[in-house]
Structure 1
């Protein structure tokens, strides 16, 4: 598949960096010249801030955000809410929440009942569903022109549906290979030399799979998620890209006959047969096993590191990351993922408030500490290239040039259903025990009606 190279982003991650700071907390009445402000002075200051925001009318902004329910992310979003409301005192943020696997359907179902949110903290791959539901507003109609232009062009290209940009990414990540340095040492392997190819990985996996934890639990050698979750479909596409494989060609046409795709499924089947890969696992399952020392290597986006760290803080002492493995005739390419904001047009005043919220959050001042301490990720905008959090991250430094080889996922209305069928394909050759050719034939007949 034709690759959209992201060299500008990779270069940005290697440039000299300066320290940013976290988003500010909520301000009080404060002091002037050492003297407390009167109630009238404080009221005047609040009204001035509201005037700066473009409106003095009270607005309650409904923002759908699954992350406020997740340990490790909740404090950041609480601080962000407080900081934004202090800057825009006429706006109150109301979180609309649901677990990760339910939030997309909840937002769409709410809209069907006449209750539309104003903004969604979204996975990039949810964009087609939100556009198809009539909820996503074009970013050119929401963000300031200069703010939008500061995004790397190829990043914006990856957030287009039918030629229009609908997502404002906070940051991006390819799929990375996380590995446990302690388990490598225990197996007699060099902890500073992770595998670069699948052949090397299999050789190491043979030694790693013979280990047990101190309390006698099995150690899995390698983790690639295959459970039926929308985002895992993109992870399976990334796995195929490692081998030079693809499911949709550069014209968006289904092609299941390419050797890279077949090689990737053959490898997935082998990993299952050898017991190296936990069956039918979700990313959170692999993060849990990795955090507990029961998984030696696994694929995840960079921000998945926070999930493992929230389970076991000691993971910072044994975890490292490396570029995706090369398989067959492939060069270790991956797919690009992001967390992004999606705006919903509920009228000019609310769109203005959404714009202010997005342009408040997606800044070095707010995101530097988040990327440094919560969710490692690579910047999506030029003004974020100088963040200390990127240069000093051992996780991001291990990414090498994998961002240059990251391929955006093709966006189309039925992408969610298509990704779930990719998960079913992976399960067919693993837990289902089907041969690769038979599984691909069944997959082809199932997904053809889903394609544009």
Structure 2
């Protein structure tokens, strides 16, 4: 048996070497302009980083020019698709993992192994890379990964008589904490909300609700991408959404940016966010770094507190050999310890997606990330479907039905099943 295992390992290594050797690297011949679609250029907290990336990359690669293509977060994908329809394709899109299937379906995204060197791609954690697969091939490459984590205000915990070093681990514990936290007022006499879960009608809220379903051990889609919500965990999650609303603990119909604002101003004690969401909090109130702590996602029902993998990524476009070679240089430049070290330390708390970056000082010693470190090992991948954004919006409608609409949870789920099935099958 040992000989067989050794033989298979050697065979795999030889095959990989042959594949790598067979892939011809094409150097850019003459000046090349890369069109990089990036909504973050319009967001104050991120703009300086990306502008510096352009300066540093162009200095190191004088024959390659970066041309930014910008639009607000909610409009950038449509901008890219519309440009392509007019024969003006970008080379790469900085976006989120949920964007991948739609761009593959639109015929824009290219398999990352068609553009990037094998050695670079193979440095990414296999399970993370697998989460970008469509038809067995990864169509996105992550800059870093970010599970949903529980952020909490240590000062408010102390004011409520709670131990700021012992955040809740289950939903039942959270509710007992929330009972005390909800009695607090801020310095101006404003209500303090105990717990924030985004339910507004934007796709990212649907992704956050999916993460909550995973907390309870439920699922939304099966492995084939078919709707699969007839499970206790799904029902338990939306029952909890309704309970949080009924008790007045959760700001109604809030976007993530609304929750970040309330948290930054000391009017929200706990809330779910992607780990990189802290940048939004800090941009509102720099002092938030002194009262913010993170914890693992809560365990609910029979669930183990699993969370949804989220990642900012590059989605690559094939625009011919010269631009592909330049694009490979750009991606490798950005997704490196040298480029991302200060970014992950100062702007976006998140976890490296590459094995070689696992011990980065900016991550290992990040006080904001420390409390939620176990969350990165309990992420669950949502099946990719082309209309994932439509599904996420339907999840938001379900959450609003049981909160704003005060409808019965079971009846609302039945209505959701009918509507969502039609939407994702188009």
* Alignment TM-score > 0.5, same fold: yes
User: Hey, what does 2:128 align to over in structure 1?
Assistant: 155
Q: Is the Cα–Cα contact under 8 Å of residues 125 and 409 in structure 1 kept in the other structure?
A: no
Distance 1:231 1:126 in 2: 11
Bigger helix share:
2
Q: CA deviation at 1:386?
A: 2.1
1:385 paired residue number: 358
Q: State whether structure 2 residue 207 is matched by structure 1 residue 227.
A: no
Residue 327 of structure 1 pairs with residue 303 of structure 2? no
Partners of 2:224 and 2:383 within 8 A in 1: no
SS at match of 2:74: coil
Q: How does 1:39-438 map to 2 (within 5 A)?
A: 54-438=27-411
**1:53–1:88 contact (8 Å) kept in structure 2:** no
Residue 113 of structure 1, CA deviation: 2.0
Q: Displacement, 1:418?
A: 1.1
CA distance in 2, matches of 1:285, 1:409: 25
Please give the secondary structure, in 2, of the residue aligned with 1:280: coil
Which secondary structure does the structure 2 equivalent of 1:190 belong to? Answer: coil
| C-alpha separation in 1, matches of 2:240 and 2:298 | 12
Secondary structure at the residue paired with 2:249?
coil
| Equivalences, count | 401
Separation in 1, partners of 2:151, 2:320: 44
TM-score computed with the length of structure 1 as normaliser = 0.87
- Post-superposition Cα deviations, 1:221-249, rounded to whole Å, max 9, x if no partner, equal 00000111112211111001111111123
**Match of residue 441, structure 1, among 410, 414, 419:** 414
Long gaps (5+) in structure 2: 1-24
Q: Distance in 2 between matches of 1:383 and 1:450?
A: 41
Match of 2:12 in 1: none
Write the distance in 2 (CA, Å) between the matches of 1:162 and 1:429. 36
Question: Which stretches in structure 1 are left out of the alignment for 5+ residues?
Answer: 1-51
Quote how far apart the aligned CAs of 1:54 are. 2.2
SS at match of 1:404: helix
Q: Could you tell me how far 1:273 is from its partner in structure 2?
A: 0.8
Q: CA offsets per residue over residues 341-366 of structure 1, 9 Å max, x none?
A: 01111111111111110000001111
Q: Measure the CA separation in 2 of the matches of 1:250 and 1:138.
A: 21
* RMSD of Structure 2 on Structure 1 (CA): 1.3
Using the TM superposition, give the Cα deviation of residue 251 of structure 1 relative to its aligned residue in structure 2, in angstroms: 4.2
Higher relative contact order (CA 8 A, sep 6+): 1
Change (3 A) 1:295 1:311: same
The whole-number CA distance in structure 2 between the counterparts of 1:214 and 1:204 is 20
- TM-score scaled to structure 2, two decimals? 0.92
